[in-house]
């Protein structure tokens, strides 16, 4: 057995002879290229004459056939087997319904003529459907020999719902002048076993405007596989703004005719950032207000119980004087022996007032002289309105004068024509001067 190597030029022609007996090793260089291990074909050829001028194109199967080298003829030379080594089976969870992108270690190949890394199908980095996929990695060397291996890629779906955490109840005050709060910010956190950024949707969303009151926010988280979870919390917006209330200015009116009061209407205005639910005036508009000054208290309340108050006064003036009717004029007799009367009973006047008579007086004297005396009655109310009337009181003298005659006289006649007689009579009256008359005056001649 002869073993040898022959390096052939890149361009070869077969010009010699073969077959022979014996054993030769021929190193052939592939056409057009440098010699490489993989380009070397070791042939075991039996020849009787040795190797002469033998040239081969190792890649030329037609040549090989022309050489009549039986396939088994080269079996006596051991090539390092071409072996492809697959990575181990891969199992990965967290697939979406569309699958999962899986990368796996590269397959390797061993042999003396490995042209490069084996290629795998599906390739690493491909999207694998949920389930088990057989990956085949193969390589073909320059000799046309193909080797392969397989391994399993198993993709498990994401069946776990995300975790979600809602914030504690949010309590805020309403914006000034608004029945709500704008731009309410809150944070809902969520995590997932597979999806690094699960999608959280809150309704209403953070940054929304919330009305006064309590609103429930529902937050739903969804992972890439469509698993969901939810939580909820409340956003409470407090109305801490009391209503704005505007009272009437103070009111002054006169009484209604005949009444010690007046019906007064007024307007109280109130507004609120939400709604004024109650506006109460005490006493209410349209009430009968008594003469005098009454304070009206006004209270506006909103739905949240905030309230504001203001006050003003209603003054009702009594400008109506009392009515007064004097007692009838009276005539009385002078007291006995006097030219006047005392303890005169004037009688009772008739008087009334819309608010009541507070003073009823007269200026009558204690002693009424004979004649007519006007007595002025005066009725007043509490507001100082006064009415007067006049009653005439007449004192008459019903007492006749008192006259005292002289005692009877007996006189002597001293003359034929008569005798003057002098006598004295006296007369008095309770009312002063008395006019006295005698049928014969003192000093006249009595016959
Ligand atoms: Ca999940
Ligand atoms: Ca309010
Ligand atoms: Ca009055
Ligand atoms: Ca008299």
* Alpha-carbon span 73 to 22, nearest angstrom: 11
Ligand closest to Cα of 334 equals 4
Centre of ligand 2 to C-alpha 300, Å, is 10
* Alpha-carbon span 243 to 239, nearest angstrom: 10
Centre of ligand 2 to C-alpha 247, Å, is 18
Q: Is residue 116 left, alpha or beta, with left meaning phi > 0 and alpha meaning psi from -120 to 50?
A: left
CATH code for the domain defined by 83-157: 2.60.40
CA distances from 107 to 110, 113, 146, 242 (A): 10, 16, 14, 78
Ligand closest to Cα of 273 equals 2
Task: Label residue 319 exposed, middle or buried (CB < 10 Å: 0-12, 13-18, 19+).
Answer: exposed
CA distances from 231 to 202, 206, 207, 318 (A): 9, 14, 18, 71
Q: Is residue 94 left, alpha or beta, with left meaning phi > 0 and alpha meaning psi from -120 to 50?
A: left
Q: What is the pLDDT along the chain (447 residues), one digit of tens a residue?
A: 222 233 333 333 333 333 333 333 343 433 333 334 454 443 433 333 443 333 344 445 555 555 544 444 333 334 567 899 999 999 988 888 888 899 999 999 987 767 788 999 999 999 999 999 999 999 987 667 789 999 999 999 899 999 999 999 999 999 999 999 999 999 999 999 989 999 999 999 999 999 999 999 999 999 988 999 999 999 999 999 999 999 999 999 999 999 999 999 999 999 999 999 999 999 999 999 999 999 999 999 999 999 999 999 999 999 999 999 999 999 999 999 999 999 999 999 999 999 999 999 999 999 999 999 999 999 999 999 999 999 999 999 999 998 888 888 777 777 777 777 788 888 889 998 788 778 877 777 655
- For residue 190, list its beta bridge partners: 164
Centre of ligand 4 to C-alpha 373, Å, is 18
The ranges assigned to domains in the chain are: 1-78, 83-157, 163-238, 244-317, 323-396, 401-447
* 244-317 maps to CATH 3.40.50.300: no
Centre of ligand 1 to C-alpha 162, Å, is 5
Ligand closest to Cα of 238 equals 2
* Alpha-carbon span 42 to 196, nearest angstrom: 57
What was the pLDDT predicted at 98? Answer: 83
Around ion ligand 4, residues with a beta carbon closer than 5 Å are 397, 399, 429-431
Indicate the DSSP class of residue 408: P
Half-sphere exposure in the Cβ direction for 346 (13 Å, CA): 23
Report the CATH fold assignment for 163-238. Answer: Immunoglobulin-like (2.60.40)
Ligand closest to Cα of 305 equals 2
Tell me whether the CATH fold assigned to 83-157 matches the one assigned to 323-396. Answer: yes
Task: Take residue 414 and report the two structure tokens written for it.
Answer: 């001293």
Ligand closest to Cα of 193 equals 1
Contact 304, 239 (CB under 8 A): yes
Ligand closest to Cα of 386 equals 3
- Choosing among 3.40.800.10, 3.40.50.11540, 3.40.50.300, 2.60.40.10, the CATH entry for 323-396 is 2.60.40.10
- 3-state helix, strand, coil split of the chain in percent (to 5) is 5, 45, 55
What was the pLDDT predicted at 406? Answer: 82
What was the pLDDT predicted at 15? Answer: 34
* Alpha-carbon span 163 to 186, nearest angstrom: 17
């Amino acid at each position: 057995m002869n073993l040898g190597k022959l390096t052939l030029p890149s361009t070869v022609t077969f010009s010699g002879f073969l077959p022979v007996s014996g054993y030769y090793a021929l190193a052939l260089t592939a056409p057009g290229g440098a010699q490489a291990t993989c380009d070397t074909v070791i042939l075991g050829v039996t020849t009787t004459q040795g190797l002469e001028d033998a040239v081969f194109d190792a890649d030329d199967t037609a040549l090989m056939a022309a050489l009549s080298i039986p396939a088994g003829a080269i079996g006596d030379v051991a090539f390092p087997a071409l072996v492809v080594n697959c990575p181990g089976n891969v199992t990965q969870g967290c697939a979406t319904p569309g699958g999962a992108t899986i990368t796996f270690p590269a397959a390797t190949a061993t042999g003396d003529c490995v042209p490069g890394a084996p290629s795998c199908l599906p390739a690493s980095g491909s999207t694998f459907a949920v389930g088990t996929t057989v990956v085949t990695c193969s390589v073909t060397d320059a000799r046309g020999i193909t080797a392969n291996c397989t391994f399993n890629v198993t993709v498990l779906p994401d069946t776990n719902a995300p975790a979600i955490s809602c914030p504690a109840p949010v309590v805020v005050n309403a914006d000034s002048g608004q029945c709500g709060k704008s731009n309410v910010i809150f944070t809902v956190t969520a995590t997932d076993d597979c999806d690094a950024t699960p999608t959280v949707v809150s309704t209403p969303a953070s940054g929304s405007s919330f009305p006064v009151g309590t609103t429930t926010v529902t937050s739903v988280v969804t992972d890439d596989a469509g698993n969901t979870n939810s939580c909820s919390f409340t956003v409470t917006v407090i109305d801490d703004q009391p209503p704005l209330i505007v009272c009437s200015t103070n009111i002054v009116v006169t009484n209604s005719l005949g009444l010690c009061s007046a019906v007064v209407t007024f307007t109280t205005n109130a507004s609120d950032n939400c709604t004024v639910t109650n506006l109460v005036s005490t006493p209410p508009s349209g009430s009968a207000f008594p003469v005098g000054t009454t304070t009206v208290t006004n209270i506006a309340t909103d739905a949240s119980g905030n309230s504001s108050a203001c006050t003003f006064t209603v003054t009702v003036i009594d400008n109506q004087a009392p009515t007064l009717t004097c007692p009838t004029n009276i005539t009385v007799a002078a007291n006995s022996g006097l030219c006047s009367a005392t303890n005169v009973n004037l009688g009772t006047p008739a008087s009334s007032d819309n608010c009541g008579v507070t003073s009823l007086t007269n200026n009558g004297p204690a002693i009424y002289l004979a004649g007519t005396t006007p007595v002025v009655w005066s009725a007043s109310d509490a507001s100082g309105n006064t009415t007067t009337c006049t009653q005439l009181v007449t004192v008459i003298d019903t007492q006749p004068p008192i006259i005292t005659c002289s005692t009877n006289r007996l006189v002597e006649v001293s003359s034929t024509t008569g005798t003057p007689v002098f006598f004295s009579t006296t007369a008095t009256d309770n009312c002063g001067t008395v006019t006295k008359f005698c049928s014969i005056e003192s000093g006249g001649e009595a016959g």
